[in-house]
Structure 1
């Protein structure tokens, strides 16, 4: 029975390093499910502590049986350098293991370079967020004027694609939001005054149009990748389509976007193996067969290429801290 494992690390509200490990069974007939089987506070986050965490967790999980190389065939993580190094360390113990860095993480890193290239749009989103943050009277005025439109989204940098989601909202509702901002009159609010000034800048509208028409597919792709139980063929097809869509973006920013995506894929070396495996599953005959046992290759039919389940486990963990442990004590 072959296993896949997803591992990630976060910092909790007390500044402690917390590592989670999820494990799942790779079946040929049906998609598997992942389960959180280890959570541990680390003294520091580096490749050695992560390697030790994975090894100790697997040893305890499989006791009294020994862990053979064929039992652990897929390791998922983000692309942090110490995680990449931890994957290299683990390959010394598990010769059949592939290490794939999360493709949803990767696409989000690509999207982040877009935010950096459009500072005016970023400033507008930031200041409008502040205008309505903890401002019930302004929110009420907004709802009265725009009863059928939601409050402008408040993107969070650590949440995938939320900035581009906000861009799409403003592109669809630019004039409406502008009219609300223009009607607000609190001159003591620096966020409001900055928002008014930005909405008068014609470049904002041009940037929003460019972003909406060229980058609409990013959030959609991340959402589809977050879907559970997809086959490897389906997931790889999404990445291939994303790369194809990247090539259609014009201008200097499009070139930067494409280069960033190329870097994400090129540095994810074992993903290329899964791409070839997916092609075999789809019936392609013009590819090199990976030097992996046939019985193991078949187990990758429903192999995940994202670590979204680990991210969700952290969300539950942090939510538990906020609601059950207000003092920050576990």
Structure 2
């Protein structure tokens, strides 16, 4: 904070603190709120939706194993990729989901659902003795319940990656971002079956544990004219402060973007870049309207 305000920290200017939902960050938010009385602590909602997607993955162990094995079969295997392209030239190569990249597992499940018969044909055309991953993938793809499980995931949860991406968009208004969260909540509420109920409960638990979500929701309603009362907001928060929330972020993805900017700026071949120019370049990069 002393970097922003070298002549003294302006405690009243700190209005929003967005972090992930790890226990130590939740605890840090509570402590900081005793120093910054106007500050609202919000945990990243895109990450919260990803946690819901992770709960879906945990319910489908065999699907998870199939996605993992299909990834292994074609990862760094040019000969098998050639087989895939010759057997199924009209479809894209299988995605390579990474668990720490939000929503990619659901995308991979949707891919397997859309192209199930093509993937099955390709896998069965590969020699099972090539690798253990090939043999296991062939066994899983022939499971009689596999396709039905993929259909359930795609039809009920296939929309999740799109809305995670929407929440990650820069310069999105608060009302638009919260509308996306509300849409996800409504869609999950419509899911049928025991798993659908469990996933919806998980989503509601994520929102309930997000201590600043209700406050941000009230602020959005005030900004859009749906609410005329200031009740439920921090006592120190003024009407002028609320106007600054029109484009308030509800995700922490800009922090991740800053890492790539720093990496671009501080590359090894910059040997005559003085501190003053680094500062100016960083200001330009962090305020540009286009991603770098």
| TM-score for both structures, normalised by structure 1 | 0.76
Q: Give how far 1:72 is off.
A: 1.0
CA drift at 1:320: 9.5
Which residue in the other structure is 1:139 paired with? 81
What is residue 122 of structure 1 aligned with on the other side? 64
Specify the alignment match of 2:206 in structure 1: 264
Instruction: Select the residue among 34, 50, 57 that pairs with 1:92.
Output: 34
1:199-214 alignment runs, 5 A limit: 199-214=141-156
Counterpart of 1:61 in structure 2 is 4
Q: Hey, what's the Cα distance between the residues in 1 that align with 2:64 and 2:121?
A: 19
Residue 173 (structure 2) pairs with residue 173 (structure 1): no
CA–CA distance in structure 2, aligned partners of residues 193 and 254 of structure 1: 32
Judging changes above 3 Å, is the alpha-carbon distance between structure 1 residues 215 and 324 closer, same or farther for their aligned structure 2 residues? farther
Deviation string for 1:87-132 (max 9, x for gaps)?
1111121111111000001000010000000011111101111111
- Residue 298 of structure 1 pairs with residue 243 of structure 2: yes
What's 2:164 paired with?
Answer: 222
* Counterpart-to-counterpart distance in 2, 1:213 and 1:256: 16
Q: Which runs of 5+ in 1 are unaligned?
A: 1-57, 326-330
Contact preservation (8 Å) 1:181, 1:196 = yes
Partner of 2:44: 102
* CA distance in structure 2 between the aligned counterparts of 1:109 and 1:66, rounded to whole angstroms: 39
Partner of 2:42: helix, strand, or coil? Answer: strand
User: Aligned equivalents of 1:201 and 1:319: distance in 2?
Assistant: 47
- RMSD, aligned CA: 2.0
Whichever structure has more helix as a proportion of its residues is 2
Is the contact made by 1:111 and 1:161 (CA closer than 8 Å) also made in structure 2? yes
Instruction: Report if the CA contact (8 A) 2:218-2:227 is conserved.
Output: no
Shift of 1:149: 1.5
Instruction: Indicate how the Cα distance of structure 1 residues 193 and 89 shifts in structure 2: closer, same or farther if over 3 A, else same.
Output: same
Q: CA deviation at 1:280?
A: 1.5
Q: TM-score, normalised by structure 2?
A: 0.86
Note if contact 2:18-2:41 (Cα within 8 Å) is conserved in structure 1.
Answer: yes
Give 1:146 deviation, angstroms. Answer: 2.0
Q: 1:40 aligns to what?
A: none
**Conserved 8 A contact 1:131-1:191:** yes
> Does the residue aligned with 1:249 lie in a helix, a strand or coil?
coil
Q: What is the number of residues matched between the two proteins?
A: 266
Contact 1:68/1:94 (8 A) holds in 2: no
Name the one with the larger strand percent: 1
| Mapped pair 1:154 → 2:96 | yes
For 1:256 and 1:318, locate their aligned partners in 2 and report how far apart those are by CA, in whole Å.
Answer: 41
Seen in structure 2, the aligned counterparts of structure 1 residues 214 and 281 have a Cα distance that, compared at 3 Å, is: same
